[in-house]
Amino acid sequence: MAVEAGALVLDVEGGPGSRRLTVATGDPADGTQGHDLRDAEVSGAHERLKTRLLEIHDIAGDDLTLDRHKSAQTVNMIYKLANRLAYGLFQGMGLKSFRDTAAAQAPLALDPAAPPRIVEIATPPEIGFPFELLPWHFVDKAAEPEVRVRGLLGMSAIIRRRIRRVTEFTGAGRLGDASSLRVTVFQHPDLAANIETQALDATPDYVRVHGPFPRDGGLPEQALMRHLVNSTTPLDSAPPSDPSAILHLACHCYTPAEEDSDCHKIDIGRANGQVELGELKSFMSEEEAWQAALPRPLLFLNACGTAIPPLESRLSFTDFFLTQQALGVVGTLCDISNDVAVHFAAIFYEALLRGASVGKAMYAARWHLMDRHRNPLGLLYTYYGNPDLQVARPQAGKVIPVCRN
């Protein structure tokens, strides 16, 4: 993996029973630091993680803006989970060694005036450990929430995740090389995603929003499945003339641990608005025509639990879309309230349209929620894919902020 100068790389290597996390920079003179990982915590704690994240979400509630007391409670709960996960992952004392490495390699991580460190994370497909929650710097528990939260990796670094053994990303890392950026929006009728559409419509001379779908009559049979793997296929009577740069799904997602991952399901509502992961896999294996090279989109799966890691070697939605050479997938680690979800997405798109990479746009959205709304739940979003993905024609001076309070 090529390492950007100044980036910090966390690389999980090895197989069951012998996994190891190496920490390195792009400078060979810095050497590497290795930390043995407890295999059960890496691969077997996903359902426990989901339960505890739901407890954190319940404390924050469905409100976008938290008062200081509730914000502190939520941050403290995240830290409680983060420390429990980290102590298990590093087998107790290994966490101190990792923090010592972090302090040496990223000494300014807790300084809000310092630019965030870029951290690349490379893992095998079956490893979905939430590194965003990793407590990589010690912060006194009595500190204010906006200070304490900086001790977590996702709030003091720009995270760029890669799945090893997935088809390498190709192209120049640009979205929408045409004169405009085509975005297909799917929105479940039960969800109010207007603020997301407003963010995309802020530059109508550049962004072309296709949708939202489904319309009142629903979709033709297999239309959603076909469009998810090839965005040139029609969703209504007027087929698109070119591929979408972004597929945005404000929907429901069902990923019950007790069921095979092939039964995991995306639901955008109305007729023919559901698709299971197993159906997508079968469709791609049977229809060779759909495997032809074509521009693939960025997918924003703005639904509950779309990035929950698979158990053992089973495939997740994230893995599936990346194996089909999607440029990247944004998803969530657990249930997310509608207000937080639409606000995170709106700020993400504002930053992206202004020219930020996807990693920087994720960081901007997390800190907007924390700075403006005292809400740390942006940490529950994660991104896999092309780490340097940007729009081809930034609209820095044209994007109107959605949130002005």
Output the tens digit of pLDDT for each of the chain's 405 residues: 344 556 788 888 887 778 888 888 766 666 677 888 877 666 555 566 667 777 887 888 888 999 999 999 999 999 988 888 888 888 766 888 888 888 888 888 999 999 898 888 888 777 777 889 899 999 999 999 999 999 999 999 998 887 776 545 544 578 877 678 899 999 998 886 667 777 888 787 889 898 889 988 899 999 999 899 888 888 887 766 788 999 999 998 887 766 677 788 899 999 999 999 888 888 877 655 555 556 789 999 998 877 766 555 456 788 888 888 888 899 988 788 888 999 999 999 999 999 999 999 999 999 999 999 999 999 989 898 876 789 988 888 888 888 776
**Residue whose tokens read 């204010």:** 144
DSSP 73-106: HHHHHHHHHHHHHHHHHTTTTHHHHHHHHHHHH-
Q: How far is 38 from 346, CA to CA, in rounded Å?
A: 38
The pTM for the full model equals 0.91
Q: Where are the alpha helices (DSSP H) in 176-304?
A: 194-201, 223-229, 277-286
Taken in order 173, 178, 180, 181, is the CA torsion positive or negative? negative
Under 8 Å between Cβ of 202 and 350: yes
Q: What is the CATH number of domain 174-391?
A: 3.40.50.1460
Q: Half-sphere exposure of residue 34, counting CA atoms within 13 Å on the CB side?
A: 6
As annotated, the residues of the chain forming the CATH 3.40.50.1460 domain(s) are 174-391
Under 8 Å between Cβ of 184 and 236: no
